[in-house]
Amino acid sequence: MNAQALAPKYHTYAGTITELQALAAANPSVCFMDSIGYSNRDSLTMYSFKISDNATVEEDEPAILFTGGVHADEILGPEIVIAFCNDIVSKYNSGDTAITRYVNNYEIYCVPFANPEGHVVVEGGDEDWRKNKTDNNHNGVLDFHDGVDNNRNYDFGWSIDQTPGGLTPESLMYKGPYPFSESECRALAVFGQKYKPLVAVEYHSPTYGRSEKVYYNWYWYPSDGGNGMAPDENSMHNIGIGFAGSIINDAGDSSYEARRALVNKGD
């Protein structure tokens, strides 16, 4: 484990709660903060931050979901979601026409930490920690045997993943003992079933590359049990192109690139 704590320019789990609670308190008509579940080992609250007119009322409006931090070492995801919350509320209050239209006609949900206990590990100095903290070897100590990659613990394609990484608890990509074994995944699944988001965006910042890209659903190799293209391929392709084209890259000379996600071995 690295000795140096997360740089202070990044948000902590506790600091984020305080910040978003203050934002909701200052804007009660358009912001509502709620719990959607708890982390698997430490029972840390998973918060959603809702932005909509009549925020405390569940209106018959399309839902949009933004999440970050499912992989704890990918610390930019939570930062983007937190900044998004502040930016949308600020622009709504300033009368921005486009933002006002979205807030008045959609229910926007933001989950900055899909893996809160993993983020706390990163805060403490282990910047390479990726998974949650599930005690796989039941020794009561957090060690390299522990944790599940929540991004691989959903039931969709779980049985297809027979890779060594998916089956090995010590792996950064361990998929867990069975689908939805992790409370974080169950919480997001219940949320998804309840609100059925029209659009769901999950932010990643992997250390192994793939930066500045928008991945849309999906091509699942038939050799791995899939059905090829997603049934809504044409729509998802157009949405991906539009989404990527609206994001300026870090160099400022182009935009993000849209790519179809390839599903292989349950990945």
3-state SS record for 87-138: HHHHHHHCCCHHHHHHHHHCEEEEECCCCHHHHHHHHCCCCCCCCCCCCCCC
Domain count of the chain?
2
Q: Are residues 164 and 79 in the same domain?
A: yes
Reported as a single tens digit per residue, the pLDDT across 253-264 is: 999 999 998 876
Helix (DSSP H) and strand (DSSP E) numbers for the chain: 7, 8
State pTM to two decimals: 0.94
Judge if 220 and 171 occupy the same domain: no
Min mean pLDDT across 92-106, 218-232, 236-250 is at 218-232
Q: Kindly report the CATH number assigned to the domain that includes residue 36.
A: 3.40.630.10
Residue 82 shares a structural domain with residue 143: yes
Residues 174 and 237 in one domain: no
Looking at the fold, whether 119 and 199 belong to one and the same domain comes out as: yes
Out of 80-89, 138-147, 151-160, 177-186, pick the least confident: 151-160
Segments forming the whole domain that contains residue 225: 212-267
Residues 78 and 178 both lie in one domain: yes
Do 87 and 39 reside in the same domain of the chain?
A: yes
Instruction: Tell me the average pLDDT across 46-52.
Output: 99
Q: How confident is the model at residue 134 (pLDDT cuts 50, 70, 90)?
A: very high
Q: Is the dihedral of CA 214, 218, 223, 224 positive or negative?
A: positive
Q: What is the distance between the alpha carbons of residues 236 and 20, in angstroms, rounded to a whole number?
A: 31
**197 within domain boundaries:** yes
Averaged pLDDT for residues 190-196:
97
Statement to judge: residues 172 and 199 lie in one domain:
yes
**Averaged confidence pLDDT in the chain:** 94
